[in-house]
């Protein structure tokens, strides 16, 4: 005979099992299929049950906290379709593959049918995989597979940004004329980790994501009606090397090769140039020191000394004048060779120092004992080779000597200005005095005097143009090209 307690326990378990079965049966009757919810009587993509409170079940194909960190935003699906679950908050974590039972109101969100969830239950199923739709099928019939997981490979045909995310357009290999937007919203918790920047048009990619609907009234690919939401950065993987990687590695490799080649060439060229420069410098110094310094400079000095001896034995003023003029020209040329000897290149003469010394030397020779002639210089740092330095120096010599001899005859004071400026590839030489000016009865075009003949000769050697003005003294403006 069973005890009284055992009998009561049996009766309780019996009625409990009957109640459980009835509640389970009632739950099955209350659950609405996803296909029924997605059906539309008017074929306008808006559920016929919009506004109804329903209970649904399905397998989650995305985890909570991805599409939005604070809101419940997941998709569940069955073998034929899927639906979005949304709530302003969530208290139970959903993982990919979990079975979900959710209750809420059916609503429309910019063309997307979703359930605004009021309560839900999670039944972990150890990562059960929901069905996955090939990309090429989803491209052909996106409305059929809305809310489901999509996977496939294809080529990137476009990329860009939108106000609320970034995207690429992917065309399946076997559907090159069709493409679908692969999208990441900026609300995604891993938004910064999705590497769209390294992808280029033409790259091959593999994508996995949830097919969703948005704004069915929009036009154009950039506002694509259907798009695939990526879940994690692993859902977008390049196949092989991307064009940016090939370009980067190719550029780095080319740069490395060029650097090595450039270094080798530079090293060899540097050694060669240094050797040639040293040899050339030694040769130049040997030749120029012997030929220029010992012969020209010394010979000019000897000739200048002979003129000085002649001056001591000559009483005729006109003869003394001629000898002084010739002596100044010799000193001008000697000064060029002296400067040339002192330069490191032995070919170029720094003109500012040369002109300063030359003109001051002429003042010491030709200025009257009772005269105070000031010299004003405005000289750029310009170097000329010997072929231009000598005629330029002799030209300055003739003009300045004329100024000392004629411009200040009736004056105790005066000023001579010398300016040397570079303007592009041209030298501008200006020599001016504030003396009496050239008398009106003298024809400036007359080349009969030796001084004017020499000025004209040196001007031609420099291939120069010259303008003479005779206001408030005399001004010579001379322009000639630089010989490189």
Residue 104 within any structural domain of the chain: yes
**91 or 225: which carries more pLDDT confidence?**
91
Residues 341 and 354 in one domain: no
Residues 189 and 103 in one domain: no
Residue 250 within any structural domain of the chain: no
**pTM greater than 0.95:** no
Q: What is the mean pLDDT of the chain?
A: 82
Host domain of residue 78: 34-123
For residue 99, the model assigns a pLDDT of: 93
For residue 291, the model assigns a pLDDT of: 67
**pLDDT surpassing 80 at residue 215:** no
**Quick one: DSSP state of residue 180?**
E
CB 444 within 8 A of CB 438: yes
Residues 104 and 157 in one domain: no
Q: Which residues contact 481 (CB under 8 A, 6 or more apart)?
A: 425, 426, 427, 463
| Cα 446 to Cα 441: distance, rounded to the nearest angstrom | 11
Q: Which residues contact 8 (CB under 8 A, 6 or more apart)?
A: none
**pLDDT surpassing 60 at residue 339:** yes
94-127 per-position pLDDT tens digit = 999 999 999 999 998 888 899 999 999 999 976 6
Residue 144 within any structural domain of the chain: yes
DSSP 3-state of 127: coil
**pLDDT surpassing 70 at residue 7:** no
CATH number at residue 79: 2.40.50.140
| Boundary-marking domain end, from 99, 123, 147 | 123
Residues 389 and 306 in one domain: no
User: What length is written for the chain?
Assistant: 484
Helix (H) or strand (E) holding 478: strand 474-481
| Boundary-marking domain end, from 296, 317, 345 | 345
What's the N-to-C CA distance of the chain in angstroms? 131
For residue 66, the model assigns a pLDDT of: 92
CB 81 within 8 A of CB 38: yes
Residues 200 and 330 in one domain: no
**pLDDT surpassing 50 at residue 20:** no
| Cα 52 to Cα 50: distance, rounded to the nearest angstrom | 6
Q: Which residues contact 427 (CB under 8 A, 6 or more apart)?
A: 382, 384, 420, 421, 479, 480, 481, 482
**134 or 394: which carries more pLDDT confidence?**
134
For residue 208, the model assigns a pLDDT of: 95
Residue 459 within any structural domain of the chain: yes
- Give the count of domains, the chain: 5
Residues 195 and 279 in one domain: no
**78 or 43: which carries more pLDDT confidence?**
78
Residues 371 and 463 in one domain: yes
Banded model confidence at residue 366, pLDDT cuts 50, 70, 90:
confident
Residue 374's Cα: distance from chain center in Å? Answer: 54
For residue 16, the model assigns a pLDDT of: 46
Banded model confidence at residue 4, pLDDT cuts 50, 70, 90:
very low
CB 219 within 8 A of CB 240: no
Residue 188's Cα: distance from chain center in Å? Answer: 33
């Amino acid at each position: 005979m069973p005890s009284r307690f055992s009998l009561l326990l049996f009766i309780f378990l019996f009625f409990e099992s009957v109640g459980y079965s009835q509640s389970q049966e009632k739950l099955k009757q209350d659950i609405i299929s996803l296909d029924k919810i997605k059906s539309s009587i008017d074929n306008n993509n808006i559920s016929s049950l919009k506004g109804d409170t329903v209970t649904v079940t399905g397998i989650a194909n995305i985890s909570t906290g991805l599409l939005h960190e604070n809101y419940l935003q997941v998709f569940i699906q069955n073998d034929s379709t899927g639906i979005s679950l949304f709530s302003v908050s969530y208290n139970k974590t959903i993982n990919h593959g979990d079975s979900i039972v959710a209750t809420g109101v059916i609503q429309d969100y910019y063309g997307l049918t979703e359930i605004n969830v009021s309560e839900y239950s999670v039944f972990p199923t150890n990562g059960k995989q929901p069905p996955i739709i090939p990309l090429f099928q989803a491209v052909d019939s996106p409305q059929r597979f809305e809310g489901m997981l999509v996977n496939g490979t294809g080529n990137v045909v476009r990329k860009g940004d939108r106000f609320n995310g970034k995207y690429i357009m992917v065309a399946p290999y076997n559907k090159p004329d069709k493409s679908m937007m692969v999208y990441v919203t900026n609300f995604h918790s891993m938004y910064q980790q999705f590497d769209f920047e390294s992808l280029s048009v033409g790259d091959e990619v593999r994508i996995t994501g949830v097919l969703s609907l948005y704004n069915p009234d929009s036009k154009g690919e950039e506002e694509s009606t259907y798009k695939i939401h990526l879940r994690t950065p692993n859902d977008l993987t390049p196949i092989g090397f991307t064009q940016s990687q090939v370009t980067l590695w190719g550029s780095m490799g080319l740069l490395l090769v060029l650097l090595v080649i450039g270094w080798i060439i530079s090293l060899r060229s540097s050694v060669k140039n240094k050797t040639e420069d040293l040899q050339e410098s030694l040769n130049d110094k040997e030749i120029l020191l012997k030929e220029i310094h010992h012969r020209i400079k010394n010979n000019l000095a000897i000739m200048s000394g002979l003129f000085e001896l002649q001056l001591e034995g000559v009483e005729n003023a006109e003869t003394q004048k001629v000898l002084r003029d010739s002596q100044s020209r010799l000193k001008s040329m000697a000064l060029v060779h002296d400067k040339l000897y002192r330069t490191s290149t032995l070919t170029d003469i720094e003109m500012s120092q040369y002109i300063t010394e030359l003109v001051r030397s002429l003042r010491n020779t030709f200025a009257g004992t009772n005269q105070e002639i000031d010299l004003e210089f405005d000289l750029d740092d310009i170097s000329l080779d010997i072929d231009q330095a000598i005629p330029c120096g002799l030209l300055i010599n003739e003009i300045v000597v004329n100024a000392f001899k004629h411009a200040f005859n009736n004056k105790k004071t005066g000023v001579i200005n010398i300016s040397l400026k570079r303007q592009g590839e041209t030298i501008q030489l200006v020599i001016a005095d504030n003396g009496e000016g050239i008398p009106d009865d003298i024809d400036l075009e007359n080349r009969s005097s030796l001084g004017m003949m020499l000025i004209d000769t040196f001007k031609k050697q420099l291939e120069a143009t010259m303008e003479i003005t005779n206001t408030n003294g005399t001004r010579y403006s001379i322009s000639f090209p630089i010989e490189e």
